[in-house]
Structure 1
Amino acid sequence: MEGKCELCEREGVFLTKHHLLPRDEGGKEEHIGYICQDCHSQIHALYTNRELAIRLDSIERLADDEQIAKYLKFIKKQPPSKKLELKNQGM
């Protein structure tokens, strides 16, 4: 489904379900956010599920994280149609 990413706030992107509290750490369907594939890939490239569960379990906490904040500054300038190849590259 297309819509607005809850993390980077770009409109017209394909949204994926991100388990804010990972399933293998006890997360359920009520612990999800809808984010674009670019944001989803970057989050999982940077952090383990354990770290996500311990300190990055909400959209607000993700957005306030130093590494994700740097990434968001970059991704917000990218058109939603552009498919990015992202890695842990210290944006």
Structure 2
Amino acid sequence: MCELCERAVERFTVHHLVPRARGGNHGPTALLCPTCHRQVHAMFSVTTLAEELYSVGLLRTNPRVADFLRWMRKQRGTRFQVRRAKERG
């Protein structure tokens, strides 16, 4: 089960809660479905992820992520196209 959208999926990706580019190579990780993982990185810069959204709980309570999760939970498929936000936070 994806730790972010809580959907049952066949494969997961490892999301470094503190991005590797910010020293998170050996830090905590979360197992995310590929769609959630791509969406998180499309919405937010590495700096924002490292400084503000460094836990699954913080990601879930972010308004932009919460909107995405509400939409995601309604979807029946498992593959979705992700678009990079015009302004990444």
TM over 0.5: yes
Aligned pair count? Answer: 85
- Out of 44, 48, 59, the residue aligned to residue 45 of structure 2 is 48
What's the Cα RMSD here? 1.5
Which residue of structure 1 aligns with residue 69 of structure 2? 72
In the alignment, structure 2 segments of 5+ residues that lack a partner are: none
Percent identity among equivalent residues? 34
Gaps of 5+ in 1: none
TM-score, with structure 2 as normaliser: 0.87
TM-superposed CA distance for 1:26, in Å, is: 1.1
Q: CA deviation at 1:85?
A: 0.6
Structure 1: 4+ residue segments shifted above 4 A: none
**Contact kept? 1:5, 1:13, Cα under 8 Å:** no
Q: Flag the structure with higher strand content.
A: 1
Residue type matched to 1:47 in 2? Answer: F
TM-score computed with the length of structure 1 as normaliser: 0.86
Aligned-partner Cα distance in 1 for 2:10–2:39: 15
